[in-house]
Chain A
Amino acid sequence: MIIKPEELPGGIKREADIVVIGSGAGGGPIAKELAEEGYGVVVLEEGGHFTREDFDFRAGQAFTRLYRDASQCVTLGMPTFVLPQGKTVGGTTTINSGTCLRIPRHVLKRWHLECGLKDITEDEINLLYGAVEEYLFVKRADPEVAGKNNLVFLDSAEKLGYSCGFLPRNAKDCEGYGVCAYGCPSGAKQSVNASFIPDAVRAGADVYTRCRVEHIIVRGGRAVGVRGRFVDPLTGKKTHRIEVEAAVVVLAGGAIQTPSLLMHNRICLSSGRVGKNLSIHPCGAAMALLDESLQNPKGIPQSVYVDEFAPDGIMLEGVTLPPAVMAITLPWGGRRHAETMWKYPYLGTFGSMISEHDSSGKVVAGPSARQPLTLYNLGRGDLERLKRSVLLMAEIWFAAGAKRVYTPIAGFKELSGPRDLGKLARTHPKRASVYGLSAYHPMGTCSMGGDPYHSVVKSSGESWEVENLYICDASVLPTSLGVNPQLTIMALALRTAGFIDDRLNEGSFEKQSAGRLERLRGRLRAEKESIARRLSGETAAICSPERLRYHAR
């Protein structure tokens, strides 16, 4: 069951087979898998629990209830990026756009060659991806609800000859309300709060909300439980205590909070890699003023992509902003701001995501475990790449008939035609001259690898230093993915769940890894067949000729 602190009489002490810290893309799948295997699972989540009925289309409520620090988390460095992270049951999956992309092949190859992760084979990871995609109803965004903003951009990119298409998403019967970032109000998005966690609870897992873990209990080099405090949502003050003793501890707090907790507990620090190697996806945006109404924000916010420049580390993905978010994104204020907002239905937006090459970042311990500092500097090469991505989006918007394009680059905040593109192309902006930027997908701060000197966890997810302490979130991804990471985190979570199962069953996972894969294959085959039977009736009905044309691409 899902337990709120106000339902508890006071502090509690209990036992479980597995205690999971965090209920996002890593913690949710692990909890579900292991609860369904019959283990006693306890999940501790720092945020509150909300259902689709609670998501009320309002930015203010969403930011203060669902986001860590009301989305005021920033990176310190040049330039400063806003780094939004979820803090609710479901983690960031509750507030993301639902994009589900697999790891690019060249990134997996890099993991094999440079990170010593050869045992994460392409076959195995594809199998895991298949299982997650089936479970989350992942399919290409439906063009009928993709949103005019995205469709106009896509058509224009297509006319320019760029490789583009509809993004795969974890949504079932999405109607495109345009507020994925406020929590899905219809329950269509299969975020972890609507999928893995309810299934974990059905299988017997207990989820404690508003519970902040402070200590990982380690005895004799082995993790044996955690201690934490509940937090009053109104005052933010700590209330009663919780202590869970467990055979296995899974840390799944995300790439910023996980290293912070390890640093404050002074564990797993021998490699010197905890908190280092931070990757994020710095994002650029280009807004455009068009003559035709784009019916904002109706439609899926992130439904299309342009991947023509993915080999150069630039991925363009759609983004439609509700009014309150559009208002804080515009690069000016006062009268001009009011006039531009009045034309809100005519404002197009699109975003770019940079896969870093020469930027560097790390997470360091802050004044408290809850508030680590995220240091990040954008490299010159990545800044050029960011500028290029803005140029590309501006080019596509102008080709779509935009009269004006607005950018986050000082001196070029308003482009009035292709002539301005040339000027921007010839400029080399300084890091201080781009601001109001956001970044997403922090990764890599407790990276997995093949040896204990250069990584924090083994490929199984278990830490090199503390036995039975597993890490399962974006922090274990050793390099930037270049694509949205939620599907990869979930796939690796299933993999880690298998290893934990083996550990608890057999004692040593190394002996059983081959058998584990075979068992997984058998189970996935059976699941796939049952889902296929269930969906066979629906599939024919939802495929219009237009959709089939796009799906075939």
Chain B
Amino acid sequence: MRDYFVERLRRLVPVFIDPVEGLPPADPDQVVEFSREFLFSGTPAFRMIFYTMILFLQALCLATRGKSVYSLPPDEADEFIQWLYSSRISTLGAIPTILGTPIYMAHYNRDDMQAPLGFDIYAMREEAAKKGVLR
């Protein structure tokens, strides 16, 4: 991933992930690292679409809000993202859906994020290891 996109992705993280009390805050470095691996393992087409969507999001925000998405106040940025998600035009809806895929997966793939939601990986792994079903 080029530095330009790394920087843009890092700055998109707070736009997509809102802090919630009781859950750990988003870690842009972790999201970037995860996305790098996720995009590398995937198709070149998806990689290209992902980068295009970053640019498209920026252009669209400039055109409709007159500001870069990264410099919008949190409330306005959130409203902008919701507007895209709820659009009946599939191309607009696809922008946050595609960008959100590695961002959300990275964030909710964290052990410390999943445990408070009731998905305690370590406990389950220990239990599964003890279980070990044989044919």
> Residues of A at under 8 Å CB distance from B?
52-53, 56-60, 63-64, 69-74, 79-80, 172-173, 175, 177, 185-188, 190, 194-195, 198, 236, 295-298, 322-328, 331-339, 341-342, 344-345, 371, 410-411, 413, 432-433, 435-436
Say yes or no: A334-B124 contact (C-beta < 8 A), given A60-B105, A186-B131, A324-B108. no
Output the least CB separation between B106 and chain A (Å): 7
Listed by A's residue number, 21 A-B pairs whose Cβ atoms lie within 8 Å are A57-B124, A59-B109, A69-B46, A71-B42, A72-B42, A72-B46, A79-B90, A175-B127, A187-B131, A324-B114, A328-B105, A332-B82, A334-B16, A338-B17, A338-B18, A338-B20, A344-B118, A410-B87, A411-B88, A432-B88, A436-B97
Q: Which residues of B contact A324 (CB under 8 A)?
A: 104-105, 108-109, 114
Name B12-49 residues within 8 Å CB distance of A: 15-20, 22-23, 34, 37-38, 40-44, 46
Instruction: Determine whether the beta carbon of B109 is less than 8 Å from that of A342.
Output: no
Instruction: Determine whether the beta carbon of A333 is less than 8 Å from that of B100.
Output: yes
Number of interface residues of B (CB under 8 A): 56
6 nearest A-B residue pairs (beta carbon): A72-B42, A185-B128, A327-B104, A70-B41, A338-B18, A327-B108
Complex Cα distance A324/B105, Å?
Answer: 5
Instruction: Determine whether the beta carbon of B38 is less than 8 Å from that of A64.
Output: yes
The residue on A at minimum CB distance from B121 is A57
The residue on B at minimum CB distance from A190 is B135
Q: Which residues of B contact A80 (CB under 8 A)?
A: 94
Instruction: Determine whether the beta carbon of A433 is less than 8 Å from that of B20.
Output: no
Instruction: Determine whether the beta carbon of B41 is less than 8 Å from that of A296.
Output: no
Partner of A70, one of B16, B38, B121: B38
Instruction: Determine whether the beta carbon of B127 is less than 8 Å from that of A333.
Output: no
Instruction: Determine whether the beta carbon of B133 is less than 8 Å from that of A186.
Output: yes
Complex Cα distance A411/B87, Å?
Answer: 8
Instruction: Determine whether the beta carbon of B18 is less than 8 Å from that of A56.
Output: no
Encode contact with A along B51-69: 1 for CB under 8 Å, 0 otherwise: 0000000000000000000
Instruction: Determine whether the beta carbon of A338 is less than 8 Å from that of B100.
Output: no
Complex Cα distance A341/B22, Å?
Answer: 12
Instruction: Determine whether the beta carbon of B86 is less than 8 Å from that of A332.
Output: yes
Complex Cα distance A342/B42, Å?
Answer: 29
Partner of B78, one of A56, A298, A334, A344: A334
Instruction: Determine whether the beta carbon of B118 is less than 8 Å from that of A52.
Output: no
Q: Which residues of B contact A72 (CB under 8 A)?
A: 42-43, 46
Q: Which residues of A contact B6 (CB under 8 A)?
A: none
Output the least CB separation between A111 and chain B (Å): 32
Q: Which residues of B contact A173 (CB under 8 A)?
A: 131, 133
Q: Which residues of A contact B43 (CB under 8 A)?
A: 69, 72-73, 371
Instruction: Determine whether the beta carbon of B106 is less than 8 Å from that of A60.
Output: yes
Instruction: Determine whether the beta carbon of B93 is less than 8 Å from that of A342.
Output: no
Complex Cα distance A70/B135, Å?
Answer: 30
Say yes or no: A410-B106 contact (C-beta < 8 A), given A334-B15, A435-B93. no
Name 14 extra pairs, CB < 8 A, besides A57-B119, A433-B90. A59-B105, A60-B105, A64-B41, A70-B41, A73-B43, A173-B133, A323-B113, A331-B85, A334-B77, A337-B16, A337-B17, A338-B17, A411-B88, A435-B90
The residue on A at minimum CB distance from B14 is A334
Partner of B18, one of A60, A188, A335: A335
Q: Which residues of A contact B93 (CB under 8 A)?
A: 410, 435-436
Complex Cα distance A185/B82, Å?
Answer: 37
Instruction: Determine whether the beta carbon of B104 is less than 8 Å from that of A337.
Output: yes
Most chain B CB within a 10 A radius of its CB, from A52, A177, A335? A335
Name B82-133 residues within 8 Å CB distance of A: 82, 85-90, 93-94, 96-97, 100-101, 104-109, 111, 113-114, 117-119, 121, 124-125, 127-129, 131-133
Complex Cα distance A448/B60, Å?
Answer: 49
Complex Cα distance A16/B34, Å?
Answer: 42
The residue on A at minimum CB distance from B77 is A334
The residue on B at minimum CB distance from A370 is B43
Say yes or no: A69-B127 contact (C-beta < 8 A), given A59-B109, A323-B114, A334-B78. no
Instruction: Determine whether the beta carbon of B133 is less than 8 Å from that of A334.
Output: no
Complex Cα distance A322/B104, Å?
Answer: 13
Output the least CB separation between B112 and chain A (Å): 12
Complex Cα distance A323/B109, Å?
Answer: 8
Q: Which residues of A contact B90 (CB under 8 A)?
A: 79, 410, 432-433, 435
Output the least CB separation between A93 and chain B (Å): 15
Instruction: Determine whether the beta carbon of B18 is less than 8 Å from that of A334.
Output: yes
Instruction: Determine whether the beta carbon of B132 is less than 8 Å from that of A186.
Output: yes
Complex Cα distance A532/B132, Å?
Answer: 23
Complex Cα distance A334/B90, Å?
Answer: 19
Output the least CB separation between A74 and chain B (Å): 8
Complex Cα distance A294/B119, Å?
Answer: 13
Complex Cα distance A185/B77, Å?
Answer: 40
Partner of B135, one of A57, A172, A333, A337: A172
Q: Which residues of A contact B109 (CB under 8 A)?
A: 58-60, 324
Q: Which residues of B contact A69 (CB under 8 A)?
A: 41-43, 46
Instruction: Determine whether the beta carbon of A58 is less than 8 Å from that of B22.
Output: no
The residue on A at minimum CB distance from B84 is A333
Output the least CB separation between B61 and chain A (Å): 14
Complex Cα distance A121/B76, Å?
Answer: 64
Output the least CB separation between B82 and chain A (Å): 6
Complex Cα distance A413/B135, Å?
Answer: 44
Say yes or no: A297-B100 contact (C-beta < 8 A), given A52-B132, A69-B46, A341-B108. no
Output the least CB separation between B117 and chain A (Å): 4
Q: Which residues of B contact A58 (CB under 8 A)?
A: 109, 111, 121
